[in-house]
Amino acid sequence: MSARSKARKRALDILYAADVRQAPVRELLEAEAGRAAGEPQRAASWLYARDIVDGVEDHRAEIDGLIAEHAQGWTLARMPAVDRAILRIGVWELKFNDEVPAAVAIDEAVELAKELSTDESSGFVHGVLAAVGRASAVS
């Protein structure tokens, strides 16, 4: 698994935990920073995980708006928490990280959904992110 894939998983863990526990993301981020400082093998993935979490938090309203706009028939509140976190990461990479090609952002999100969510989630995540990607390409 690449360092960026590991970083996405770490960011997902933080965003998911904050959502489920209704805990401040910053607290969980700082706790993870402490763990990463004590484990040098985590250093490669830590910086990008932090970029993802910071980016999602900095642009949360816009990201959630895009998800809500393109998740036909689903509200954010109705989605499984893991799917919300995966979509937030995917939308951040699509809209706010020019270093990640759209196909890679979508692919990575779909893989996380296959590994960590329901059987239907990977198709749902793909559909939402593809729609966000198409809309972003037009604007």
Residue-range domain boundaries for the chain? 3-138
Fold of 3-138: N-utilizing Substance Protein B Homolog; Chain A (1.10.940)
Which pLDDT belongs to residue 3?
86
Q: What is the mean pLDDT of residues 54-72?
A: 97
| Paired tokens of 4 | 């960026």
pLDDT(110) > 70? yes
* Average pLDDT of the residues in 100-109: 97
Is residue 121 predicted with pLDDT exceeding 90? yes
Q: Which pLDDT band, with edges at 50, 70 and 90, does 75 fall under?
A: very high
Residue 137 clears pLDDT 90, i.e. is over it: no
pLDDT score, position 123: 97
pTM as predicted = 0.93
Report the greatest alpha carbon distance in the chain.
Answer: 44
Average pLDDT over residues 5-13: 95
Does residue 127 register a pLDDT over 90?
yes
pLDDT value of position 139: 63
Short-list 55, 77, 81, CA closest to 68: 77
Question: What rounded mean pLDDT belongs to the chain?
Answer: 93
Cβ atoms of residues 82 and 14 within 8 Å: no
Question: Up-side HSE of residue 18: CA atoms within 13 Å toward CB?
Answer: 20
Place 31 in a pLDDT band, splitting at 50, 70 and 90: confident
Does the structure show a pLDDT above 80 at 44? no
